Amino acid sequence: MAATGGDERLTADGAPFAVEDGVYASGPRTLREFVEVVWGYGDRVFLVSEDGRTTYREFFDAACGLARRLVGEYGLRPGDRAVVAMRNHPEWQVAFWAAQLAGLVAVPLNAWWTEDEFDHVLDDCAPAVLLVDGERVGRVREWAARNQVPGIVFHGEDAADATAAADEENAAAGVAGAGEGGAPAAAAGFVPYVPDADPHLGPPLVDVLPEHDATIIYTSGTTGRPKGAVATHLAQAGAAMNPRYFAAAAALARGDVPGAGPVPVSLTTFPFFHVAAFTSFYGVMAAGGTLVMMRKWDAGRALELIREHRVTHYAGVPTTALQLLDRARATGDPLGSLVLLGTGGAAAPPGIVDGITAGYGERVEPRNGYGLTETSGGVLCNVGAEYRAHPGSVGRPTPVTEVRIDRPDAEGVGELWLRGQSLVRGYWGDEEATRAAFSEDGWFRTGDLARVDADGRVTIVDRLTDMVIRGGENVYCVEVEDVLQQHPDVVDAAVLGVPHPLLGEEVAAVVRLRPGAAVGVDELRTHVGARLAAFKVPAHVLVREEELPRNPTGKLLKRELRGSLARTT
């Protein structure tokens, strides 16, 4: 079965989100086209960080200046790769959008990777320039020297300190540094970022076409080496329109006029290198809103920022959202300015909706959705009253996204396939992986098990690789995890299969309890048994005090739990 989303009030001919030939008819065709219009927001505040505020005009002028430097001084041309590896600094946005204005392929890399992880990906994408902050220089310096690739170091004293250290090592290795001795700054070596914000020059004169590659975003690598998912400008332009569509549809569902309310002020806690962050900052930029950043996650500090900046929208992984709600409840914080709390990057437990409703009624709108690196961000969304009524669903697709359930079973569950404007064209330099992931007619095999209701609402049941087959019965791990997380003493839970000599596999769970909780294993198994069939009840339950291992975007790393379970089963 296949389905396409879209509210006809928004998608009819001539409407803002009408679709022609599978793409948004009136949307931008390139990211350069998308970002050029934000200059018109002028002195509105775009970025808020620990270092101050940056207006849209300041941001755009700085991005144009860096783009001119990359094209002129560095001699880069459309198609060259520009790595961006930083914390969530304002300069991350400057660097990323400079690459788009210059027609380069931006490659945002995971800021928490080790030197070995950076080496693997840098070898894979072969960038022509490295745009990094001071904390990342030490992890990429040897690769840059070995491959004679120049770099620019951003962010204040970090940049100066790191550049000095890099120059010392470059000099020792006989590599040109920051332009010393008349050498061009674009020679191999690292130089500090010097802003060029001349408002009269604009971006460089380069042709950026919809079919050109815009980004290579590497998968999280939870099951192996990361792969570089390549999105064209047309795909990323569609991804930039998707959050605008979701916001408009949510406004109509509330009985409001789309775009008539105040602009969003978003506390976005996703790392910028992750596609969930793209969905968030695309939506903020399109509306001329403000992006409030955190250097490091802390629930108490997040509450302070919400109060200080009158934050209206919160965006983060479910783990941080739950911590925010817990801290607000414990301190009596009313979250007075907040109107929307959205999660992404990992499956959202149904308890998030209950927590929002219990604490704030219908004033704070809950939102979750579904997206992947390969979809360039969120392509399904569940929000507001519909989310409260169907907390286990990830919602409906955008009008440029097709949904298909491949080979559904008797309950309508099968692999979720997606096709549409924002999907990537394949994996960088890996035709075999591309053929394995995409059908000949363009459907992407997500690896997720799902079902689609008659009205088009999608529910993710489990990952194909996470499903436990117990004596021929399918046990969807996410279903058991959700039930465990509904127990008041459970903070987090992971369910996976362990070998069994007769059944093939049986169900096991690793559970983290709230501090001071005294619930026992038998009680947890009884809790699950009262809600699910007996064959789904975990045969083994391991209770641990430390946090469950997750990657930076909140996804459980179950391979790290298998060893612990093996020692107890």
Q: Helix 90-101 vs helix 56-72: angle between axes, to the nearest 10 degrees? A: 50
Residue with token string 């198994």: 525
Let me know: does 160 contact 188? Beta carbons within 8 Å. no
Domains of the chain as residue ranges with CATH? 2-26+229-463 (3.40.50.12780), 56-208 (3.40.50.980), 467-566 (3.30.300.30)
Tell me whether strands 81-85 and 265-268 are parallel, antiparallel or unpaired.
unpaired
CA 180 from centroid of its chain's CA atoms:
40
Q: What is the pLDDT of residue 187?
A: 57
pTM of the model: 0.83
Give 163's contacts (C-beta < 8 A, 6+ positions apart): 134, 137, 153, 178, 190, 191, 192
What b/e sequence results for 15-31 when a residue is b if at least 16 CB atoms lie within 10 Å of its CB, and e otherwise? bbbbbeeebbeebbbbb
Residues 6+ away with beta carbon under 8 Å from 286: 34, 240, 241, 243, 244
Neighbours of 342 (CB within 10 A): 27
Q: With CA atoms as reference, report the closest residue to 185 among 60, 92, 75, 96.
A: 75
pLDDT at 553: 65
Residues of the chain below pLDDT 50:
1, 170, 172-185, 222
